[in-house]
Amino acid sequence: MKHKKASDMAGKICALCCQGHLEAKRGREYFRHGEALIIIEDVPAWVCNKCGERYHHAWVFKRMREIAIHRDQLTEHLRVPVAHYQSGDEAA
């Protein structure tokens, strides 16, 4: 399978804010699969230089899903606290 190069989307206008331009970067993704949350490092993405929205090719998303499915093979684990948002100003 031939993957598209990073230059395919570089410089395009962000579909979310319509102001920024996309830049090829690698970063951290928080990927949910069922009840599991997986942190995946060094994921290729196009990131808006204005609002920070991230875009991925389908093959990148498929690879993240594959990593999450085989999460039992991961050796690095991170324990994080979980909080619930509470406020007296409930809008809905």
pLDDT by residue for the chain (92 residues), tens only, comes to 555 555 688 889 999 999 999 999 999 999 999 988 999 999 999 999 999 999 999 999 999 999 999 999 999 998 989 899 888 776 65
User: Residue 2 is encoded by which pair of tokens?
Assistant: 């031939």
**63 in Cβ contact with 42 (< 8 Å):** no
The residue extents of the domains of the chain are: 7-73
**64 in Cβ contact with 40 (< 8 Å):** yes
Its sign, for the CA torsion 18, 24, 30, 36, is positive
pTM: 0.76
Q: Cα separation of 71 and 78, whole Å? A: 13
CATH architecture, domain defined by 7-73? Roll (3.10)
Task: Read off the DSSP letter of residue 18.
Answer: S
